[in-house]
Amino acid sequence: MNSMSLLPFIPERASTLADQFEFLFWYITITSGVVGLGVYAAMAYFCVVYRRGVSTGPTPRILGSTRLELGWTIIPLFVFLTYFAGGLMVYNHAVHAPADSEEVFIIGKQWMWKAQYPNGQRVIIGGNPRNMTEAERKSIGKLVLPVNKPVKLTLISEDVIHDFGVPAFRSKIDVLPGRYTSVWYQPTKLGEYHIYCDQYCGTWHSLMVGKIAVVKEEEYRDFLQGFRPLQGTDNSNAVDGSPAGSEGRQLFMSLQCASCHSANATAKAPVLEGLYGSRVPLAGGGAEIADDHYIIESIRRPRLKKVEGWEAIMPSYDETQVSAEQMNSLVAYIRSLKKGMTMDNTQRFPAPVGAPTERNPSTAPPGGK
Ligand SMILES: [Cu+2]
């Protein structure tokens, strides 16, 4: 392996964006390079030819030429407007994720990336294994993505500003505390690509690095199911930690959400079944479609938009009470709630082990943590 392949001058191109980006990059570099060179060449030429003391005589008086001035203003203007048009096209491609994108959540934390797939599969990228919990250490691995399929990443930070940069995809996005950002890719080539934290974020910033493994779609599905561990990726933690299935549900109980949002007739709050994607009438007029953003906002700042017909008794939950990671699980759980799925209060106080119960065992609370 030579040094060029370790630190290539131009990184590999491995996404649809990379091809567009590269074209624009070279177009701008070459046109502005040619113009710049022309200016310097003319300067050097004039310096020599019209140097002092040669038989050029005194400089004649020359007045301006409107034609010339208009020419060298308008022609470059159109040249530079092509940069604008190209930039707009690439930007437009980069910010609009196709509707059928796969989804992954990424949480930046000093100094690791935590990736969470909607079905609960998790991967820890980068970081110092010595400062990790046992569960985190077990999930160290690569961010696995399918080839030729769009993938949308939703990112947030638990502490300072980070930046999720993937040179081979020609993509980088700031990862901010308290605000979700998103980015999407369509990888075009199988292989492994570097992830960097592109924003200096403290002592071990250099540990926030890792790999994206772009694999065939079947392998990606297997990875999500946790069937066949990919080389170097211990994904044995899949399925049991599904945010929708268990973690979100547990949080919903431990944070006492269920004491208000329960299925009992005495409920003090709206039942959240079927909420996701529905139209919620708001107090004071208007309505809103309940998407991820709405649900997160309802939990972080419940006073902001109050559901019509209910008292404003819901406490707000900030990052110290519900971390970004827990929020993903809660939202996934609320998303998954269909009619008849809300637990009633008896489920918060399960009968002792072995006690007779007429409940269907599949609706019983998960046995311990
Ligand atoms: Cu960082």
Domain range summary for the chain, segments of one domain joined by +? 3-49+66-95, 102-225, 243-349
Flag whether pLDDT at 223 surpasses 60. yes
Which three-class secondary structure string do you get for 224-278?
HHCCCCCCCCCCCCCCCCCHHHHHHHHHHHHCCHHHHCCCCCCCCCCCCCCCCCC
- pLDDT > 70? residue 237: no
Q: Determine contact, residues 366/246, Cβ cutoff 8 Å.
A: yes
Split at pLDDT 50, 70, 90, the class of 161 is very high
Closest by CA position to 215, among listed 176, 189, 195, 240: 189
Q: 6 C-alpha vs ligand 1 centroid, how far in Å?
A: 22
* Residue 127 alpha carbon to ligand 1 centre in Å: 10
Sheet holding 122-125, edge to edge: 122-125, 112-116, 102-109, 151-157, 181-185
Please give the distance, rounded to the nearest whole angstrom, from the Cα atom of residue 161 to the centre of ligand 1.
7
The Å distance, Cα 236 to ligand 1 centre, comes to 27
**128-140: pLDDT as tens digits:** 888 788 877 878 8
pLDDT, tens digit, 9 for 90 and up, residues 250-298: 888 888 888 788 776 567 888 888 888 888 888 888 888 888 888 888 9
Cα of 251 to ligand 1 centre, how many Å? Answer: 28
Q: What protein residues have CB closer than 5 angstroms to ion ligand 1?
A: 162, 197, 201, 208
CATH architecture of 102-225: Sandwich (2.60)
Q: How far is the CA of 220 from the centre of ligand 1 (A)?
A: 27
Q: End-to-end alpha-carbon separation of the chain, Å?
A: 48
CATH number of this structure's domain 243-349? 1.10.760.10
Would you say the CATH fold of 243-349 matches that of 102-225? no
- Residues 6+ positions from 208 with CB-CB distance below 8 Å: 108, 111, 112, 113, 126, 127, 162, 196, 197, 201
How far away, in angstroms, is 124 Cα from ligand 1 center?
14
Whether residue 340 has pLDDT greater than 70: no
- Distance (angstroms) between ligand 1 centre and the Cα of 174 equals 10
Rounded to the nearest angstrom, the distance between the alpha carbon of 200 and the centre of ligand 1 is 6
Over residues 287-312, mean pLDDT: 87
For position 1, what pLDDT does the model report? 40
Provide the token pair at 112.
Answer: 């690791």
For 119-147, what is the mean pLDDT?
84
pLDDT value at position 260?
A: 82
CA of 186 to the centre of ligand 1 (A): 24
Task: Give me ligand 1 centre to Cα 257, in Å.
Answer: 33
pLDDT above 90: residue 151: yes
Please count the residues of the chain: 369
Q: Would you tell me the crossing angle of helices 66-95 and 16-49 to the nearest 10 degrees?
A: 160
pLDDT band at 163 (very low <50, low <70, confident <90, very high): very high
Q: Which residues contact 368 (CB under 8 A, 6 or more apart)?
A: none
User: CA 298: distance to chain centroid?
Assistant: 21
Q: Which of 200, 109, 188 is nearest to 155 (CA)?
A: 109
pLDDT given at position 264: 67
Q: Please report the pLDDT score of residue 88 as a whole number.
A: 95
